[in-house]
Each structure stands twice: as structure tokens, then as C-alpha cells.
Structure 1
Amino acid sequence: MIIKTENIEALIKSAISQYKIHQDTGISQGTISDLRLGKSIIDNLSVANAGKLSDYQNKQIIKKLQAAIGQQRYIELIAFLTRNFNEIVDSQRDLAKSDEGDNSDLIMANILEADFKERLTDPLFIAQCANIINKIK
């Protein structure tokens, strides 16, 4: 699990009520209140609570994106990104196998593949991609 403090910060600053966050995550309203009032800081959260808040904010981002572009367009966006990321990785692997390629090209293909897999689970990145695509179209 990747915990992003910027996700938690955005959630704490959001208009979502403490009660709603508590209901959906199981984290006490007191903990959420302390974060909002500055009585506590994100760095002092337990890993479990930080993970719950980060995951909850990711779900909120995905819901907003799906509401903005529609469920089908969201699915198409993920497919588009996956397909293009795979083409980039395959191209890097092809370079590694060619006469001009070497071991560093294969290493880079593996790094790109790992990075792309992580990015496809990051709702903020996906939302940024959707914004870029909408600006181009």
C-alpha cells in the first residue's frame, strides 16, 4: 500500500464531513477533528489510519472523475493508458534485443513497466491524464 500524505491533506481540507469520513473509514471523528484543527499532524497517524485515509481519498478522486467523464469513458481511459504504456515498454524491450541495444535498455524497460503499473493505480495521475486528453480533443 502506498500512502500519499498529499491525499490525506486534500481529504482533511475537503468538505466531506468528519462523520462521513468516520462512517466510511472507521477512523474516530476525534482523530479527524484533531487533524483538521491542527492539534495532530499526518506524520503522527498510525500506518493503518494513514492508509485508510489515503485509500478513501483515492476513491473520492475516482468517483469525481467517473462522475465528470462517465464510467464508460473512465474504463476507456484506463484501457488507453494501459495499451500505450505497454507499447512503450515493448518498444524499449525491442531496442534491448536489437543490435543497437544493450542491458541498460532492458533495465530501463523493467523500470518503465514498474513505474507505469504504479501510475495506473494513482487516481491523481489518471485525472491529470483525463484533463490532458480533454484539452487536446
Structure 2
Amino acid sequence: MDRSNERKAFDEMKIGVKGLADSGITEIPPMFRAPPTILASLKAPRATQQVNIPTIDLKGGSVHYKDQDLTTRRSVVEQIREASEKWGFFRVTNHGISLELQERMLGGIRGFHEQDLQVRKQFYSRDHTRNFL
């Protein structure tokens, strides 16, 4: 089966990666593995190589206010742009979101994924224009 047929079959099941894990698979499906030609061209990081994930300090979560110091705001925006381009992700500090709210959010995510598969299926979609509710 080619990758596009695998992806179509996966999407039609509407179970997502969590559903695959719950099904008891013992091997990562081929559609989630890079082809051997790509893997052969990748270089593994040396054991001594230090990896530092970009960390962006939002200075207390105030960078979105209109009266924020423009120099600080531009600096933060530039750091986000650079981290997004070079890494695709970054760590954020001083965002102003309480630990309690973060824990409640993670609890909500866990709660969603622990629901019955039939409940989760109704929300599964790759349509990025579709509203959640």
C-alpha cells in the first residue's frame, strides 16, 4: 500500500495516533516512518553535542499590550520568528499563564483523549478550515 492510501485509510478510521496506541499495535505503521533513503542522509548528533532548545522570555506575558516597549516587543517577535524558522518550536517563559491553569488545560487534554473512541471520532478531522464547535 502506498503512503497516500495508508493516510486515507488512517483518516477514514478517525482514531488518531492515540487510537492506534490503544489498539495494541506493536510496530509503528509505515506511514509514520521516513523512507530509508531519507534516513540514510540524516546525520545523528554527536554524543558530546549540546542541544539547546530556544527559550523565549515574554517578560511577564505583557508583549501583547499596545503600550509595551516597542524595542522589547520587536526583540520577542524576532526571537519567535528565528526559533520558528530554525527549529519549528520553542520554549516560552514568563507568559503570565498560571501553573493552575496550565494543569487544568493538560487535565482537559488528557480527559478528552481518555474518552471512548466513538466520542473522540466525531471530532477527528484534517480539515483546517472546520470550526471545532
TM-score (norm 2): 0.26
Larger-Rg structure = 2
Q: Say which structure is richer in strand.
A: 2
